[in-house]
Chains A and B, each alone.
Chain A
Amino acid sequence: MSLTTERERALLDKIKAKFEDVIKEKYVKPKRIRIDVSPQKIFEVASFLKALGFNQVASVAGTDYPSSNEMEVVYHIVAIDNELRDIVFALGERVSRDNPIVPSLTDVWKSASYHEQETYEMLGIKFEGHPRLERLLLPEDWADIPPLRKEFKLPGRE
């Protein structure tokens, strides 16, 4: 296993050349890259990543940060059956907790569909343009706040 990050750097430079002012580099580790973009620009960046060869969404993770009144969505994107297969690309965005609406990336990656739906349900982040923003895993009569928000406490644990 190589511990250098030359390939990852070269890849990131390619993206930077096109989206210099838009993206914020978070880290470059061996086989792992993460950039953050604003929700307004994420669709363009995502389309470019797909054209580069990252053709499948492995995970969409929402995280609640009440301390900065923000919520974060991170797409982990992988490349199936091409030369980028060993790299996991993380594409993050932050949105205010007061009105958490981000664009859906299902038009770029169909594989994001159920992951986004789960994130919507568990954190209450709305994915604009998602075909199916409805209950998935929680009970149909769930009337509480989305459970992965930090103010949702497990009874008896805190």
Chain B
Amino acid sequence: MAERTLTLSIGPQHPGAGHFRLIVVLDGDIVVDVKPDPGYVHRGAEKMAEYRTYIQNIPHLERPVIIDSSGILFPYVLASEELLDLPPPPRAQYIRIIMAELNRIISHLYWLGIYGVFVGHTTMFLWPVGDRELFIDLAQMIAGARVTFAFFVPGGVRNDIPDDFPDKAIKVCNYYEKRLKEYEKIFFYNPLVLKRTQGVGILKREDAIELGATGPNLRGSGVKSDVRKDEPYSSYDDIDFEIPVYKDGDCWSRCMVRLGELYQSMNIIKQAIKKMPSGPVKNAKRGVLKGIEGEAFARTESARGTMAYYIISDGKPYPYRLKLSVPSFRCLSLMKHLLVNQHVADIPAIYWGLDYWPVEADK
């Protein structure tokens, strides 16, 4: 058997999301074994956090997933607020929702662009990457930056939204909801895309839970699980939205979940703008922030799934230990399960269908 097989390294050059290597063993064009090899962009974010104050930690903690930088900061501010005893005012909670959902759209559109290339559909690279600019512009109106916002702080958000933001945001959302219908026609229901994604890389419901899938990968396997609904944080319980769930567990289901989330995120943004109370956007304390002795665990739903922080404080201005638990890291255990016994030509569709972000997994 051994002389029949061929070992192939996919990566570690940049395959669209960051440096990562998949070691696949092939028999003909069938994958017989897979070993994910992460770590090429490990930067020791957890160790760095032990040397920085709660405020200094904000910019470097969003680096692992700049594409969803609000998503990765959200649980950090929730956990540190518990330790610093610095709850955010109501208006800040709604601004956070808007920002997190904008980031979800920005992240999903990036994923969609690369996925288009991976399944050989170049139009679906150009459209999302172009339309993504609309949402980046909206985020820039609020936070000033285009990608890494460092906008959430313990106790609220850095600044209020500008006066012309609500009108602009609703206009963009209304436009893009119509635009997404065109995406559906040209990509999501395109016979060629259906051929490449339907029935490919099937993740059964039980396996998804057992192997630790979260986010769209879990919901693509028919599991209705979303932290925004399971344990509503930051006023998400005030907003009426659906969780898209698809039962088949194949690549197409995972795509359709993300498509549904694009619609839902715009729905959430529009509601949050309407329901937002007036008032301050930040509670602040003077001097260096010191955590109370104890520990806090916070989780939120980021674009890729459950993002969680576990922070231990010993009463100093720095966390004693900060554990960052990211959704991409949990994808590692799905890869072998999904890729073995598949054709080598299906690897791109399955791999990027998981929306695995190597930099996030490496931390």
Contacts and interface: CB of A to CB of B under 8 A. Distances in A.
A121 to B, nearest CB: 9
Given A59-B323, A88-B297, A137-B39, A31 B231 contact: yes
A52 interface: no
A76 B310 contact: yes
B146 interface: no
A153 B40 CA distance: 22
Contacts of A81: 209, 223-225
B218 A80 contact: yes
A109 B218 CA distance: 16
Contact of A114 (B230, B306, B321, B333): B333
A138 B42 contact: yes
Contact of B231 (A85, A136, A157, A158): A85
A154 B333 contact: no
B47 A148 contact: yes
Interface string B216-253: 00100001110000111000010000000000000000
A114 B330 contact: yes
A115 B224 CA distance: 24
A138 B41 CA distance: 9
Nearest to A156: B51
A114 B329 contact: yes
Contacts of B333: 110-111, 113-114
B104 interface: no
A138 B326 CA distance: 17
B163 interface: no
Interface in B272-324: 297, 299, 306, 308, 310, 312, 320-321, 323
A90 interface: yes
Interface residues of A, number: 39
Interface in A1-33: 1, 31-32
Given A111-B210, A148-B46, A61 B218 contact: no
Interface string B16-49: 0000000000000000000000110010101110
Contacts of B48: 154
B261 interface: no
B340 to A, nearest CB: 15
Interface string A97-118: 0000000000001110111001
A79 to B, nearest CB: 9
B38 A137 contact: yes
* B interface: dominant SS: mixed
A115 B330 CA distance: 8
A17 to B, nearest CB: 25
B332 interface: yes
A135 B306 CA distance: 25
B310 A74 contact: yes
Which among A55, A78, A109 has the greatest number of chain B C-beta atoms within 10 A?
A: A78
A39 interface: no
Given A1-B237, A154-B48, A110 B299 contact: no
Contacts of A31: 231
A136 B39 contact: yes
B96 interface: no
A90 to B, nearest CB: 7
Contact of B212 (A56, A88, A138, A147): A56
Nearest to B223: A81
B362 interface: yes
B363 interface: yes
Contacts of B312: 63
A151 to B, nearest CB: 12
B323 A154 contact: no
B148 interface: no
A91 interface: no
A90 B44 contact: no
B9 to A, nearest CB: 14
Nearest to A122: B46
A55 B211 CA distance: 10
Nearest to A121: B39
Given A59-B308, A80-B225, A85 B47 contact: no
Interface of B: 38-39, 42, 44, 46-48, 51, 209-212, 214, 218, 223-225, 230-232, 237, 297, 299, 306, 308, 310, 312, 320-321, 323, 325, 329-330, 332-333, 362-363
Given A1-B232, A59-B310, 17 more contacts: A1-B237, A55-B209, A57-B212, A59-B297, A61-B323, A63-B321, A74-B310, A85-B231, A86-B230, A86-B231, A88-B231, A110-B211, A111-B210, A114-B333, A137-B38, A137-B363, A148-B321
17 contacts: A58-B299, A58-B308, A61-B310, A63-B312, A63-B320, A80-B223, A81-B225, A86-B231, A88-B231, A90-B297, A110-B212, A114-B329, A136-B38, A137-B39, A147-B47, A148-B47, A158-B51
